[in-house]
């Protein structure tokens, strides 16, 4: 479909979900997960201020560079992997991300 | 004991504005919040961020909106119980509710309005399997009294201002201070970062970066932390205290136990008046849910406004309520 990409999300029970994400709706990865009712809280609404959309990037897509805000928030998160950890809310859905694979990070208490 | 007409749980924007609308109906309000200041998320999470969807303000900083709300409600002299969590409620014989806070402060009111937003903010706990075993036995999430650490060995984890500031402060008190952080750079204020680096050079702070605490050992009381370093692997370090400072995260907390109908961490309400399944208890703002719910400050203001009309009729079933415009009548405070 035009203006749509496919993203694979592996949830915390290791179940795989295939999501169709629109590239023309100004959405980010956290919002797409939420729209599919995956267990991503997105508590702060996408300001890189809560880390509930923390995920691990499994495919070798070129992603936008991490902002200082995102890096700072990951400092307060747990189960952080230096190579693959990102906040979903800081990754806008673009055509280049077609085929992206992510794993949801465990929920901290 | 504090007595009021409407006891509002949560001093965020929605709770604050409700004081105004209640005041217009001559109802007095008292607010309780687990944070030490009013404003909720706006003060705690994003005071310096602009908000663009408050009618009449093309943009306003979250912190400024809180200040303006405080100014707007001042004529109605709201009471505040800050830094205390709403813990338990009970129904009194006269039909009113008694709410007791985490510090034992008692509040009595015929109506409770839960404007709790995301819940109450509590320290983030690192996912170390046995961490709860050592809570108050060497693990503290908040530093209440620095004297507690006098001549002790302390390991602090985190990379923000509180981790930096406490590490600096405790060098004069504790026997040994170790700061463990995931990265080699810190997000805290520049002068704090420089001070920590300086104290590290002087040998007053052990700085272990690119590392995380992954284990705790001790027999009854903490005596050792396991630190996983990015390149050096696991290191153990003797310590009396471990203080993880990873900021605050919201949790629904004790409200979840009050017998309210809850769906996905939100309280179900009737959109007629935002009443819950318990008569006399309402829920407004981000903490409630109903078909079509949007978590917007704007919507919370609307919900609080309708809610106080219903609260008035609940408190004074025999009194007539006439709707008045502030432009006609002005704002007549208490």
* pLDDT tens over chain B, length 334 residues: 999 999 999 999 999 999 999 999 999 999 999 999 999 999 988 899 999 999 999 999 999 999 999 999 999 999 999 999 999 999 999 999 999 999 999 999 999 999 999 888 889 999 999 999 999 999 999 998 999 999 999 999 999 889 999 999 999 999 999 999 999 888 888 999 999 999 999 999 999 999 999 999 999 999 999 999 999 999 999 999 999 999 888 888 899 999 999 998 899 999 999 999 999 999 999 999 999 999 999 999 999 999 999 999 999 999 998 888 999 989 999 9
**CA–CA dist B49, A46 (Å, integer):** 12
**CA–CA dist A55, A100 (Å, integer):** 12
**CA–CA dist A101, A16 (Å, integer):** 10
Can you name the CATH fold of B125-246?
Answer: FAD/NAD(P)-binding domain (3.50.50)
- Domains in chain A, CATH or no CATH each: 4-104 (3.10.20.30)
Whole-model pTM: value is: 0.82
**pLDDT of A108 over the 80 cut:** no
Q: What is the per-residue pLDDT for A1?
A: 66
Q: Give the residue carrying structure tokens 């990754």.
A: A91
Note the CATH number of domain B2-122+249-329: 3.50.50.60
The angle subtended at Cα B254 by Cα B287 and Cα B128, nearest 5°, is 100
- pLDDT category of residue A20 using cuts at 50, 70 and 90: very high
Q: What is the per-residue pLDDT for A109?
A: 61
Contact A76 B230 (CB under 8 A): no
Q: Which sequence spans correspond to the domains of chain B? A: 2-122+249-329, 125-246
Q: What is the per-residue pLDDT for B188?
A: 81
**CA–CA dist B334, B230 (Å, integer):** 61
Q: Which of residues 29-68 of B touch A (CB under 8 A)?
A: 45-46, 49
User: By CA distance, what is B209's nearest residue in A?
Assistant: A75
- Confirm if A56 and A85 have CB atoms less than 8 A apart: yes
Q: What is the per-residue pLDDT for B4?
A: 98
**CA–CA dist B328, B325 (Å, integer):** 5
**pLDDT of A49 over the 90 cut:** no
Q: What is the per-residue pLDDT for B250?
A: 83
- Confirm if B182 and B210 have CB atoms less than 8 A apart: yes
Q: Tokens for B149, please give them.
A: 């650490």
* CB < 8 Å to B127, chain A: 78-79, 106, 108-109
CA of A86: how far to CAs of A28, A78, A80, B301, in Å?
Answer: 12, 12, 9, 34
Residues 6+ apart with CB under 8 A from A57: A63, A84, A86, A100, A101, A102
ipTM: 0.78
**CA–CA dist B92, B170 (Å, integer):** 47
Contact B187 A71 (CB under 8 A): yes
Contact B250 A43 (CB under 8 A): yes
Contact B127 A44 (CB under 8 A): no
Cβ neighbourhood burial of B308 (10 Å; 0-12, 13-18, 19+):
buried
Contact B159 A75 (CB under 8 A): yes
Q: What is the per-residue pLDDT for B45?
A: 83
Q: Where are the alpha helices (DSSP H) in chain A?
A: 29-35, 68-76
Q: Is the dihedral of CA B190, B192, B196, B199 positive or negative?
A: positive
* CB < 8 Å to B181, chain A: 75
Q: Does B295 touch chain A (CB under 8 A)?
A: yes
Q: What is the per-residue pLDDT for B99?
A: 98
The angle, 0 to 180 degrees and rounded to 10, between the axes of the packed helices B62-73 and B13-24 is 20
H or E, element range at B186: none
- Same CATH fold assignment for domains B2-122+249-329 and B125-246: yes
pLDDT tens per residue across span A57-107? 999 999 999 998 899 899 889 989 889 999 999 999 999 999 999 999 998
Q: How far is B124 from chain A (nearest CA, A)?
A: 7
The angle subtended at Cα A41 by Cα A38 and Cα A44, nearest 5°, is 145
**CA–CA dist B153, B155 (Å, integer):** 7
Q: How many CA atoms lie within 13 A of B142 on its CB side?
A: 5
For an interface test with B, the pick among A78, A82, A106, A108 (most B C-beta atoms closer than 10 Å) comes out as A78
């Amino acid at each position: 479909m035009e203006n749509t990409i496919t993203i694979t999300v592996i949830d915390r029970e290791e179940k795989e979900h295939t999501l169709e994400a629109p590239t023309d709706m100004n959405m980010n990865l956290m919002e797409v997960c939420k729209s599919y009712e995956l267990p991503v809280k997105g508590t702060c609404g996408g300001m890189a201020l809560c880390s509930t959309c923390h995920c691990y990037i499994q495919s070798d897509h070129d992603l936008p560079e991490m902002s200082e805000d995102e890096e700072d928030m990951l400092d307060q998160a747990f189960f952080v992997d230096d190579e693959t950890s990102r906040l979903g809310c800081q990754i806008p859905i673009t055509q280049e991300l077609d085929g992206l694979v992510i794993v949801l990070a465990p929920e901290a208490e | 004991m504090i007595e009021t007409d409407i006891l509002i749980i949560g001093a965020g924007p929605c709770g604050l504005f409700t004081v105004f609308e209640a005041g217009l109906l001559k109802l007095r309000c008292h607010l309780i919040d687990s944070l030490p200041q009013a404003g909720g998320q706006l003060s705690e999470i994003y005071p310096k961020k602009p908000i663009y969807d408050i009618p009449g303000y093309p943009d306003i900083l979250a912190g400024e909106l809180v200040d303006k709300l405080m100014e707007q409600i001042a004529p109605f002299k709201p009471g505040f119980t800050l830094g205390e969590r709403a813990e338990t409620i009970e129904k009194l014989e006269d039909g009113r509710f008694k709410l007791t806070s985490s510090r034992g402060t008692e509040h009595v009111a015929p109506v409770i309005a839960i404007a709790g937003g995301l819940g109450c903010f509590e320290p983030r706990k690192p996912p170390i399997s046995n961490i709860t075993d050592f809570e108050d036995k060497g693990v503290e999430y908040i530093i209440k009294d620095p004297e507690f650490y006098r001549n002790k060995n302390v390991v602090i984890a985190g990379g923000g201002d509180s981790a930096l500031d406490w590490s600096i402060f405790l060098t004069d008190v504790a026997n040994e201070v170790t700061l463990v952080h995931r990265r080699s750079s810190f997000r805290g204020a520049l002068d704090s970062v420089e001070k920590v680096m300086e104290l590290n050079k002087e040998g007053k702070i052990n700085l272990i970066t690119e590392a995380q605490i992954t284990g705790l050992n001790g027999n009854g009381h903490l005596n050792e932390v396991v630190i996983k370093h990015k390149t050096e692997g696991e290191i153990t370090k003797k310590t009396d205290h471990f203080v993880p400072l990873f900021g605050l995260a919201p949790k629904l907390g004790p409200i979840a136990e009050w017998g309210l109908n809850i769906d996905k961490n939100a309280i179900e309400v009737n959109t007629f008046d935002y009443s819950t399944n318990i008569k006399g208890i309402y829920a407004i703002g981000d903490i409630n849910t109903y078909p079509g719910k949007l978590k917007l400050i704007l919507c919370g203001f609307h919900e609080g406004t309708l809610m106080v009309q219903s609260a008035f009729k609940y408190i004074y079933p025999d009194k007539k309520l006439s709707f008045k415009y502030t432009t006609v009548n002005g704002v007549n405070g208490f």
